[in-house]
Structure formats: C-alpha cells, structure tokens
Amino acid sequence: MSKHNISLKDIARKLGVSIPTVSRALNNKPDIGKETKRKVIELAKALNYEPNQFAINFKNQQSYIIGVIIPKIVHHFFSNVISGIITEAEKSGYSVMLFQSNESYESELKSTQTFKRSMIDGLIISLSDNTHNVDHLKNLQDHKIPVVLIDKVTDMMEASKIVCNDYKGAYDATQHLISLGKRNIAHITGARKPTTTKERYRGYKDALIANGLPVKEGLIKYCDLISEDKGYYEMKNLISQDDRPDGIFCATDPTAIGAINAIKDSGLQIPKDIAVIGFSNWNMAYIIDPPLSSVKQPDYEMGEKASALIIEEIQNIRNEQPITFKTHVMETSLIIRESTVGKKDLNSRDVLNYKIIE
C-alpha cells in the first residue's frame, strides 16, 4: 500500500527535527527533550514505524541468527535437540537457521558456505558421520564466529562441546542386563566412526569386564546402517550361532526393534530367553511388543544447553572477553520396560508403562 517503509527520515521531516533526534527519542537515549521525545514516539506509533533491521544488522554487523547443522531432521533425537535449541534461543531474541547434512561431508561444507550469506552469529553443529576434516569450522572460528559441537563431536578442533554420557548410558544398560542374571550379552553397534558409537561400545565392554565376564568378539556385530532390517538380520545370525546370547544391548533403538522381531520370529521368549535393551528411547520404543527398555538421552536439554552456550560465546566475543571452551557431559537415564524385565516387575498393563532409573 504505502510506497516505501517509513524511516527515521520521514518522521524527522514531518516533525521538523533532525534524524539523530528521532533516533535518540526512539531508542531511549539520554540528551533528549521530554516533549520532543513524546512527539516523536507518538508520530512513530501513528505512522506504524518499524526500524529497518537490514540497516541495524549492517551497522552492528550482527544478525541475531544462530546456525544449526544436524545430520537429519526426521530423527527422534535430533528433532528434540532442535526443539531445545530454538526454545532457548528465542528467550534471548535469537533466531535459528537450520540445515541438514544428511550425513554428507560435502553437504555440511556447502551449508557452512551458505551460512555466510546470512552472516550467522554462531554455529551449533552435530557432525556428519563422514566428516573427516573440520577446516570449514575452524574457518568460522577465525572469522570470530563461535562454534559449539553437539553430540557428534570431534577432537580435531578446540570448541565447546555438549555430549551425553554415552559411555555411562551403555555401561548402565549392560549392567542392567547383568543384574538380571544375563551372562552372555551381545552388542550391536552403530556406524563405526562417530565417537558416540565408540563410547557405547566401550561402556558395554567395561561393564562386562567389571563383572568378570568375557568380551566375546563373536557376540559383537557391526551395523553401519541403522535400520530395523539390519538389526533383524544380525539378531538372526546371533541366534543361529552355537554360542547364543541371553541378552543384547543395541546401540540404537531401530536395530533393537529389528532384534526383537527376529527373536519373536525364532520362537524365543523376551526377556526370558533373550533380554533386549536399546539406546535413545525413540518414540517407537514403547509401541513395540514387548515394549523396549532403552537409554534415554537428554536430547531437549542438550539443545537448550548448546543454545545458551553459543549465545554466551557470541556475547563474549562482542565484548572482547576471552572465551574458554567447556565440554558439558549430560547424563542419560535408564528406561526399563518389558523387553528386559517382563510384565511381572512392572505395574498393571498400561500404554505407557515404564520405570526410570537416573
């Protein structure tokens, strides 16, 4: 309708004052006459004045935008992380720009470039499984754009990191199976590269060792692709082995669900013959029959924390304060359902029945 958005200049002209005066009035600066201020504010409101943010961002060289790169949005863990990031960012007036790498290094790289166009103030990133080089991230740091790593982190660069205690989560899950009397516990891992996978594997192994149980190579299966199919397949293999396991800890819920189906199809009982526990507590975990015990990650909270951290670093940089990198390790909790303890140890049947052990 109006030809152009109205600017300070318009207000100044109509009021017969100068542009800086209008600016001062509208920004609660000192050195402004009470009456002038009133008139300016009044007219601004009447004209529906809105400051041109392009100009302000340009002047401040600041966008109030946080960039986020994650491997996959359609993913229970990550969508919760994002949700936490956005909610926390909004509290401080920051907006979130989202990219997904689809586990591709090239795509991650490209996103980093595109970000430059929007001049993000900081970046939160969960590395793709195929990222073997982090120069693109160091480059951002060199340009005074702070980077916070979340979940899929790396030692190749110095930065603040948010991780959950994958090691302890895996240890607890394995210990849980052992406490139930299981002695021959198998493990299906995730993709080989990510530190998360390695930590879960380490937790599994250490729990066995701590309990004086042998670590058997034959009971450990590698699943680069995280899917029910792969879990089903590997579980079938395990069942057909001479040395059949009596319990299994899967590094992801989807593989655990595949494992459950394989066990059921083989005519074995869960958890009597083989107990199953997964990791991440996907929303499908309690849908499967029997409901799947799992390790819950503090996904949303990790996102919140990452947001708070990046904003802190952004502000420190602006104020020329030194920033110190911190690594935050957040704790998991054990969600116990029927796939490990059976119905007898839980209360009467309910759609959402489980015990939490922190």
Residues forming the site for DNA (CB under 7 A): 4-5, 7-9, 16-21, 23-24, 26-27, 29-33, 35-37, 51-52, 55-56, 58-59, 61
Please report how close the Cβ of residue 215 comes to its own copies at its closest, in angstroms.
29
**Nearer residue to DNA within complex by CB, 56 or 287:** 56
**Three-state DSSP class for residue 320:** coil
> How many other CB atoms sit within 10 Å of the CB of residue 81?
28
Q: Is 257 in the site for its own copies (CB under 8 A)?
A: yes
Distance between CA atoms of residues 155 and 138, nearest Å = 12
- Residue 96 binds: one of DNA, its own copies, none (C-beta under 5 to 8 A by kind): its own copies
Q: Is 64 in the site for its own copies (CB under 8 A)?
A: yes
Could you tell me how far CA 341 lies from the centroid of its own chain? 29
- Residue 269 binds: one of its own copies, DNA, none (C-beta under 5 to 8 A by kind): none
Buried b (16+ CB within 10 A) or exposed e, 258-273: bbbbbbeeeeeebbee
Size (the chain), residues: 358
Q: Is 214 in the site for its own copies (CB under 8 A)?
A: no
Distance between CA atoms of residues 352 and 358, nearest Å = 18
Q: Is 50 in the site for its own copies (CB under 8 A)?
A: yes
Q: Is 65 in the site for its own copies (CB under 8 A)?
A: yes
Please report how close the Cβ of residue 313 comes to DNA at its closest, in angstroms.
22
Please report how close the Cβ of residue 286 comes to its own copies at its closest, in angstroms.
9
**Nearer residue to its own copies within complex by CB, 118 or 179:** 118
Angle of helix 34-47 relative to helix 8-15, nearest 10 degrees, comes to 120
Within 172-201, the residues that bind its own copies by CB under 8 A are none
**Three-state DSSP class for residue 117:** helix
Among candidate residues 265, 257, 305, the one with its CA nearest the CA of residue 281: 257
Residue 264 CA: distances (Å) to CA of 221, 249, 275: 19, 17, 12
Question: Tell me, what DSSP letter sits at residue 28?
Answer: T
Q: Token pair 């879960």 is at which residue?
A: 200
Q: Is 157 in the site for its own copies (CB under 8 A)?
A: no
Q: Is 135 in the site for its own copies (CB under 8 A)?
A: no
Residue 100 CA: distances (Å) to CA of 71, 72, 82, 106, 307: 5, 6, 11, 11, 17
**Nearer residue to its own copies within complex by CB, 1 or 356:** 1
Please report how close the Cβ of residue 297 comes to DNA at its closest, in angstroms.
42
Distance between CA atoms of residues 70 and 122, nearest Å = 14
**Nearer residue to its own copies within complex by CB, 116 or 192:** 116
Question: Tell me, what DSSP letter sits at residue 345?
Answer: G
**Nearer residue to DNA within complex by CB, 35 or 358:** 35
Pick the piece of the chain touching its own copies (CB under 8 A) from 80-88, 218-226, 238-246, 316-324: 80-88
Residues binding its own copies (CB under 8 A): 1, 5, 50, 52-55, 57-58, 61, 63-65, 73-76, 79-80, 82-83, 86, 90, 93, 95-100, 110-111, 114-119, 142-143, 228-229, 232, 257-258, 261, 265, 283-284, 287-289, 349, 351-352
